[in-house]
Amino acid sequence: MATMTAWQVTDPGPLSGRPLRKVDRPVPEPGPGELLVEVAACAVCRTDLHVVTGDLPPHRSPVVPGHEVVGRVAALGPDATGFAVGDRVGVAWLRRTCGTCRYCRRGAENLCPQSRYTGWDADGGYAGYTTAPADYVHRLPDGYSDAEVAPLLCAGIIGYRALRRAELPPGGRLGVYGFGASAHLTAQVAVAEGARVHVLTRAAAARELALGLGAASAGDAYDAPPEPLDAAVLFAPVGDLVPVALAALDRGGTLAVAGIHLSDIPALNYQRHLFQERTLRSVTANTRADARELLDLAGRHRLRVSTTPYPLDAADDALADLAADRVNGAAVLVP
Protein backbone atom coordinates (compact mmCIF):
# COMPACT_ATOMS: atom_id res chain seq x y z
CA MET A 1 0.00 0.00 0.00
CA ALA A 2 1.36 3.43 -0.99
CA THR A 3 2.00 5.83 1.88
CA MET A 4 2.43 9.58 2.19
CA THR A 5 3.61 12.16 4.70
CA ALA A 6 0.81 13.98 6.47
CA TRP A 7 0.34 16.29 9.45
CA GLN A 8 -2.54 15.47 11.77
CA VAL A 9 -3.98 16.76 15.01
CA THR A 10 -5.48 14.33 17.51
CA ASP A 11 -5.52 16.39 20.71
CA PRO A 12 -5.95 20.10 19.95
CA GLY A 13 -4.17 22.49 22.28
CA PRO A 14 -1.62 25.30 22.54
CA LEU A 15 1.07 25.31 19.87
CA SER A 16 3.68 25.03 22.62
CA GLY A 17 2.49 21.45 23.13
CA ARG A 18 3.08 20.61 19.43
CA PRO A 19 -0.48 19.32 18.78
CA LEU A 20 0.27 19.04 15.05
CA ARG A 21 2.17 15.79 14.45
CA LYS A 22 3.86 14.50 11.30
CA VAL A 23 2.96 10.89 10.45
CA ASP A 24 3.09 8.41 7.59
CA ARG A 25 -0.38 7.44 6.37
CA PRO A 26 -1.78 5.38 3.51
CA VAL A 27 -2.67 7.35 0.40
CA PRO A 28 -6.47 7.67 0.60
CA GLU A 29 -8.80 6.17 -1.97
CA PRO A 30 -11.52 8.35 -3.49
CA GLY A 31 -15.06 7.32 -2.61
CA PRO A 32 -18.15 7.58 -4.81
CA GLY A 33 -18.26 10.95 -6.55
CA GLU A 34 -14.83 11.92 -5.20
CA LEU A 35 -11.47 12.82 -6.72
CA LEU A 36 -8.04 11.84 -5.43
CA VAL A 37 -5.87 14.96 -5.65
CA GLU A 38 -2.08 14.94 -5.48
CA VAL A 39 -1.24 18.07 -3.50
CA ALA A 40 1.06 20.60 -5.18
CA ALA A 41 0.53 23.44 -2.68
CA CYS A 42 -1.62 24.13 0.38
CA ALA A 43 -1.93 27.58 1.87
CA VAL A 44 -1.99 27.94 5.65
CA CYS A 45 -5.14 29.63 6.95
CA ARG A 46 -5.86 31.10 10.36
CA THR A 47 -8.79 28.68 10.51
CA ASP A 48 -6.23 25.85 10.48
CA LEU A 49 -4.74 27.45 13.56
CA HIS A 50 -8.16 27.45 15.25
CA VAL A 51 -8.60 23.74 14.41
CA VAL A 52 -5.16 22.80 15.74
CA THR A 53 -5.38 24.82 18.96
CA GLY A 54 -9.00 23.86 19.72
CA ASP A 55 -10.58 27.30 19.27
CA LEU A 56 -12.90 25.36 16.97
CA PRO A 57 -14.29 22.22 18.62
CA PRO A 58 -12.97 19.00 17.03
CA HIS A 59 -15.24 17.44 14.42
CA ARG A 60 -12.92 14.53 13.57
CA SER A 61 -9.97 12.98 15.36
CA PRO A 62 -7.39 12.66 14.08
CA VAL A 63 -7.77 15.14 11.24
CA VAL A 64 -5.37 16.50 8.63
CA PRO A 65 -5.83 20.30 8.40
CA GLY A 66 -5.62 22.39 5.26
CA HIS A 67 -8.36 23.68 2.97
CA GLU A 68 -6.60 25.85 0.38
CA VAL A 69 -5.37 22.96 -1.73
CA VAL A 70 -4.00 23.09 -5.27
CA GLY A 71 -3.15 19.85 -6.99
CA ARG A 72 -3.64 17.51 -9.90
CA VAL A 73 -6.34 14.89 -10.21
CA ALA A 74 -4.64 11.55 -9.61
CA ALA A 75 -7.71 9.29 -9.77
CA LEU A 76 -11.50 9.40 -10.00
CA GLY A 77 -13.77 7.53 -7.65
CA PRO A 78 -16.92 5.74 -8.84
CA ASP A 79 -19.41 8.10 -10.54
CA ALA A 80 -17.08 11.13 -10.30
CA THR A 81 -17.57 13.37 -13.33
CA GLY A 82 -16.47 16.73 -14.70
CA PHE A 83 -12.70 16.19 -14.37
CA ALA A 84 -9.96 14.05 -15.86
CA VAL A 85 -6.72 12.67 -14.46
CA GLY A 86 -4.09 15.39 -14.69
CA ASP A 87 -6.46 18.37 -14.36
CA ARG A 88 -5.25 21.17 -12.08
CA VAL A 89 -7.91 21.75 -9.43
CA GLY A 90 -8.56 23.54 -6.17
CA VAL A 91 -10.07 22.13 -2.98
CA ALA A 92 -11.60 24.72 -0.66
CA TRP A 93 -13.18 24.93 2.80
CA LEU A 94 -16.76 24.01 1.84
CA ARG A 95 -16.73 20.25 1.21
CA ARG A 96 -20.36 19.17 1.12
CA THR A 97 -23.92 20.37 1.74
CA CYS A 98 -27.25 18.53 1.77
CA GLY A 99 -28.66 20.34 -1.28
CA THR A 100 -32.25 20.00 -0.05
CA CYS A 101 -32.68 22.19 3.05
CA ARG A 102 -34.30 25.62 2.82
CA TYR A 103 -30.90 27.31 2.92
CA CYS A 104 -29.52 25.27 0.04
CA ARG A 105 -32.72 25.78 -1.97
CA ARG A 106 -32.49 29.56 -1.64
CA GLY A 107 -28.82 29.74 -2.66
CA ALA A 108 -27.40 30.04 0.87
CA GLU A 109 -25.66 26.67 1.01
CA ASN A 110 -23.03 28.16 3.34
CA LEU A 111 -25.75 28.10 6.04
CA CYS A 112 -26.69 24.44 5.47
CA PRO A 113 -26.97 22.69 8.87
CA GLN A 114 -25.47 19.57 7.29
CA SER A 115 -22.48 21.38 5.73
CA ARG A 116 -19.08 19.72 6.02
CA TYR A 117 -15.63 21.28 5.77
CA THR A 118 -12.23 20.31 4.44
CA GLY A 119 -9.60 19.98 7.15
CA TRP A 120 -12.20 19.93 9.92
CA ASP A 121 -14.80 17.27 9.07
CA ALA A 122 -12.53 15.48 6.56
CA ASP A 123 -8.79 15.29 5.96
CA GLY A 124 -7.30 18.24 4.11
CA GLY A 125 -4.16 19.31 2.33
CA TYR A 126 -1.32 19.12 4.87
CA ALA A 127 -0.40 15.89 3.12
CA GLY A 128 0.80 14.41 -0.13
CA TYR A 129 -2.74 13.54 -1.26
CA THR A 130 -6.31 14.37 -0.32
CA THR A 131 -9.79 13.49 -1.54
CA ALA A 132 -12.74 15.76 -2.25
CA PRO A 133 -16.22 15.51 -3.77
CA ALA A 134 -15.95 16.43 -7.45
CA ASP A 135 -19.02 18.69 -7.19
CA TYR A 136 -17.14 20.90 -4.68
CA VAL A 137 -13.79 21.02 -6.50
CA HIS A 138 -12.87 24.15 -8.46
CA ARG A 139 -11.21 24.88 -11.76
CA LEU A 140 -8.44 27.44 -11.38
CA PRO A 141 -7.50 30.56 -13.38
CA ASP A 142 -4.43 30.53 -15.58
CA GLY A 143 -1.49 32.85 -14.97
CA TYR A 144 -0.86 31.90 -11.34
CA SER A 145 1.62 29.42 -9.95
CA ASP A 146 0.34 26.68 -7.64
CA ALA A 147 1.61 28.59 -4.60
CA GLU A 148 0.03 31.85 -5.77
CA VAL A 149 -3.40 30.42 -6.50
CA ALA A 150 -3.66 28.40 -3.26
CA PRO A 151 -4.54 31.37 -0.99
CA LEU A 152 -7.37 32.34 -3.31
CA LEU A 153 -9.23 29.18 -2.26
CA CYS A 154 -10.09 30.51 1.19
CA ALA A 155 -8.39 33.82 1.86
CA GLY A 156 -9.60 35.09 -1.50
CA ILE A 157 -13.06 33.53 -1.42
CA ILE A 158 -13.92 34.50 2.16
CA GLY A 159 -12.54 38.00 1.68
CA TYR A 160 -14.66 38.35 -1.44
CA ARG A 161 -17.80 37.24 0.40
CA ALA A 162 -16.99 39.59 3.30
CA LEU A 163 -16.56 42.49 0.87
CA ARG A 164 -19.97 41.78 -0.63
CA ARG A 165 -21.51 41.45 2.82
CA ALA A 166 -20.07 44.87 3.72
CA GLU A 167 -22.14 46.42 0.90
CA LEU A 168 -19.45 48.86 -0.19
CA PRO A 169 -21.04 51.38 -2.57
CA PRO A 170 -19.36 52.15 -5.92
CA GLY A 171 -16.36 54.37 -5.36
CA GLY A 172 -16.83 54.04 -1.61
CA ARG A 173 -14.44 54.25 1.33
CA LEU A 174 -13.48 50.86 2.77
CA GLY A 175 -11.71 50.12 6.03
CA VAL A 176 -9.72 46.88 6.27
CA TYR A 177 -8.83 45.80 9.83
CA GLY A 178 -5.95 43.33 9.89
CA PHE A 179 -3.85 42.68 6.80
CA GLY A 180 -2.96 39.04 6.37
CA ALA A 181 -3.60 36.58 3.58
CA SER A 182 -7.29 37.35 3.09
CA ALA A 183 -7.13 41.09 3.58
CA HIS A 184 -4.31 41.69 1.12
CA LEU A 185 -6.36 40.02 -1.61
CA THR A 186 -9.65 41.69 -0.68
CA ALA A 187 -8.03 45.13 -0.67
CA GLN A 188 -6.86 44.57 -4.25
CA VAL A 189 -10.35 43.55 -5.35
CA ALA A 190 -11.78 46.70 -3.77
CA VAL A 191 -9.14 48.94 -5.35
CA ALA A 192 -9.75 47.33 -8.76
CA GLU A 193 -13.45 48.15 -8.34
CA GLY A 194 -12.70 51.83 -7.63
CA ALA A 195 -12.78 51.99 -3.82
CA ARG A 196 -10.55 54.09 -1.55
CA VAL A 197 -9.08 51.55 0.88
CA HIS A 198 -7.78 52.41 4.34
CA VAL A 199 -5.85 49.60 6.04
CA LEU A 200 -5.60 49.46 9.83
CA THR A 201 -3.25 46.84 11.24
CA ARG A 202 -0.63 46.52 13.96
CA ALA A 203 2.21 45.16 11.81
CA ALA A 204 4.50 47.73 10.18
CA ALA A 205 5.44 45.33 7.36
CA ALA A 206 1.76 44.75 6.59
CA ARG A 207 1.14 48.50 6.42
CA GLU A 208 3.99 48.84 3.95
CA LEU A 209 2.57 46.00 1.86
CA ALA A 210 -0.87 47.63 1.91
CA LEU A 211 0.43 50.89 0.52
CA GLY A 212 2.32 48.99 -2.18
CA LEU A 213 -0.93 47.28 -3.21
CA GLY A 214 -2.79 50.55 -3.66
CA ALA A 215 -4.25 51.40 -0.25
CA ALA A 216 -4.95 55.10 0.23
CA SER A 217 -3.64 54.97 3.80
CA ALA A 218 -2.30 52.51 6.35
CA GLY A 219 -2.35 53.02 10.10
CA ASP A 220 -2.41 51.12 13.39
CA ALA A 221 -5.40 48.90 14.06
CA TYR A 222 -6.74 51.21 16.77
CA ASP A 223 -6.18 54.44 14.83
CA ALA A 224 -9.06 56.37 13.32
CA PRO A 225 -8.99 56.30 9.51
CA PRO A 226 -8.41 59.66 7.77
CA GLU A 227 -12.05 59.83 6.62
CA PRO A 228 -15.36 58.22 7.63
CA LEU A 229 -15.90 54.77 6.13
CA ASP A 230 -18.81 53.59 4.02
CA ALA A 231 -17.94 49.97 4.84
CA ALA A 232 -15.37 47.95 6.75
CA VAL A 233 -14.21 44.36 6.97
CA LEU A 234 -12.67 42.97 10.14
CA PHE A 235 -10.15 40.22 9.36
CA ALA A 236 -8.24 40.22 12.66
CA PRO A 237 -9.91 37.76 15.11
CA VAL A 238 -9.98 40.48 17.79
CA GLY A 239 -13.35 41.36 19.25
CA ASP A 240 -11.95 44.57 20.76
CA LEU A 241 -11.76 45.98 17.23
CA VAL A 242 -15.51 45.68 16.59
CA PRO A 243 -16.46 48.89 18.43
CA VAL A 244 -13.39 50.63 16.96
CA ALA A 245 -14.46 49.77 13.42
CA LEU A 246 -18.14 50.58 14.05
CA ALA A 247 -17.16 54.01 15.39
CA ALA A 248 -15.20 54.66 12.19
CA LEU A 249 -18.25 54.06 9.97
CA ASP A 250 -20.17 56.89 8.41
CA ARG A 251 -23.97 56.94 8.61
CA GLY A 252 -25.45 53.84 7.00
CA GLY A 253 -22.12 52.02 6.96
CA THR A 254 -21.69 48.27 7.40
CA LEU A 255 -19.02 46.27 9.23
CA ALA A 256 -18.57 42.64 8.12
CA VAL A 257 -16.65 40.28 10.41
CA ALA A 258 -14.81 37.83 8.17
CA GLY A 259 -13.43 35.26 10.60
CA ILE A 260 -14.86 31.94 11.74
CA HIS A 261 -13.59 32.69 15.27
CA LEU A 262 -13.56 35.99 17.16
CA SER A 263 -12.61 36.86 20.70
CA ASP A 264 -15.37 38.39 22.83
CA ILE A 265 -16.82 41.72 21.71
CA PRO A 266 -16.89 44.43 24.39
CA ALA A 267 -20.15 46.14 25.28
CA LEU A 268 -21.36 48.44 22.49
CA ASN A 269 -22.77 51.91 22.98
CA TYR A 270 -25.89 52.23 20.89
CA GLN A 271 -25.50 55.93 20.07
CA ARG A 272 -21.79 55.74 19.25
CA HIS A 273 -21.58 52.38 17.49
CA LEU A 274 -24.97 51.46 15.95
CA PHE A 275 -27.23 54.48 15.67
CA GLN A 276 -27.62 56.22 12.28
CA GLU A 277 -28.29 52.81 10.71
CA ARG A 278 -24.83 51.35 11.07
CA THR A 279 -24.87 47.57 10.59
CA LEU A 280 -22.79 44.73 12.05
CA ARG A 281 -22.78 41.49 10.02
CA SER A 282 -21.04 38.14 10.29
CA VAL A 283 -19.67 36.02 7.46
CA THR A 284 -20.22 32.25 7.52
CA ALA A 285 -18.16 30.09 5.17
CA ASN A 286 -18.87 30.58 1.46
CA THR A 287 -20.97 29.26 -1.35
CA ARG A 288 -19.62 27.64 -4.50
CA ALA A 289 -20.99 30.65 -6.37
CA ASP A 290 -18.73 32.90 -4.27
CA ALA A 291 -15.78 30.74 -5.25
CA ARG A 292 -16.60 30.84 -8.95
CA GLU A 293 -17.05 34.62 -8.90
CA LEU A 294 -13.75 35.23 -7.10
CA LEU A 295 -11.78 32.82 -9.28
CA ASP A 296 -13.30 34.34 -12.43
CA LEU A 297 -12.39 37.81 -11.16
CA ALA A 298 -8.83 36.63 -10.48
CA GLY A 299 -8.65 35.43 -14.06
CA ARG A 300 -9.67 38.88 -15.35
CA HIS A 301 -7.65 41.00 -12.91
CA ARG A 302 -4.16 39.77 -12.07
CA LEU A 303 -3.95 39.87 -8.28
CA ARG A 304 -0.59 40.18 -6.55
CA VAL A 305 -0.49 37.26 -4.15
CA SER A 306 2.15 37.73 -1.47
CA THR A 307 3.32 34.30 -0.28
CA THR A 308 5.91 32.85 2.07
CA PRO A 309 6.75 29.26 1.07
CA TYR A 310 7.39 26.49 3.60
CA PRO A 311 8.27 22.87 2.88
CA LEU A 312 5.57 20.42 3.93
CA ASP A 313 7.94 19.13 6.63
CA ALA A 314 7.75 22.58 8.28
CA ALA A 315 3.97 22.85 8.59
CA ASP A 316 4.21 23.29 12.35
CA ASP A 317 6.66 26.17 11.89
CA ALA A 318 4.33 27.81 9.39
CA LEU A 319 1.46 27.70 11.89
CA ALA A 320 3.68 29.09 14.66
CA ASP A 321 4.80 31.95 12.42
CA LEU A 322 1.19 32.69 11.48
CA ALA A 323 0.15 32.78 15.14
CA ALA A 324 2.98 35.22 15.89
CA ASP A 325 2.20 37.47 12.89
CA ARG A 326 5.57 36.68 11.33
CA VAL A 327 4.03 35.88 7.91
CA ASN A 328 3.67 38.66 5.35
CA GLY A 329 0.84 37.70 3.03
CA ALA A 330 0.05 33.98 2.98
CA ALA A 331 2.12 31.02 4.17
CA VAL A 332 2.03 28.19 1.64
CA LEU A 333 3.13 24.58 2.13
CA VAL A 334 4.88 23.10 -0.88
CA PRO A 335 5.49 19.31 -0.75
CATH number, domain containing residue 309: 3.90.180.10
Instruction: Let me know if 314 is exposed, middle or buried by CB neighbors in 10 A (0-12, 13-18, 19+).
Output: middle
Residues 70 and 119 reside in one and the same domain: yes
Domain span at 89 = 3-151+305-334
Instruction: Classify 171 in phi/psi space as left (phi over 0), alpha (psi -120 to 50) or beta.
Output: left
pLDDT at 316: 96
Among candidate residues 211, 209, 202, 176, the one with its CA nearest the CA of residue 190: 176
How far is the C-alpha of 135 from the C-alpha of 213, rounded, in Å? 34
How far is the C-alpha of 100 from the C-alpha of 79, rounded, in Å? 20
pLDDT at 290: 97
Residues 124 and 195 reside in one and the same domain: no
Instruction: Tell me which H or E stretch contains 44.
Output: strand 34-44
Cis bond leading into 19, ω under 30°?
no
CB 141 within 8 A of CB 79: no
Looking from the CA of 108 toward its CB, the CA atoms found within 13 Å total 10
| CA 213 from centroid of its chain's CA atoms | 19
Listing DSSP states for 66-91 in one string gives ---EEEEEEEE-TT--S--TT-EEEE
Mean pLDDT by 10 residues, the chain (335 residues): 95 95 97 98 95 94 98 98 98 98 98 98 98 98 97 96 97 96 95 97 93 97 98 96 98 95 95 97 96 96 94 96 88 94
- Please report whether residue 297 resides in a domain: no
- Please report whether residue 287 resides in a domain: no
Residue 234: CATH number of its domain = 3.40.50.720
Number of domains in the chain: 2
- Please report whether residue 27 resides in a domain: yes
Residues 214 and 115 reside in one and the same domain: no
Listing DSSP states for 238-261 in one string gives -TTHHHHHHHHEEEEEEEEE--S-
Residues 22 and 91 reside in one and the same domain: yes
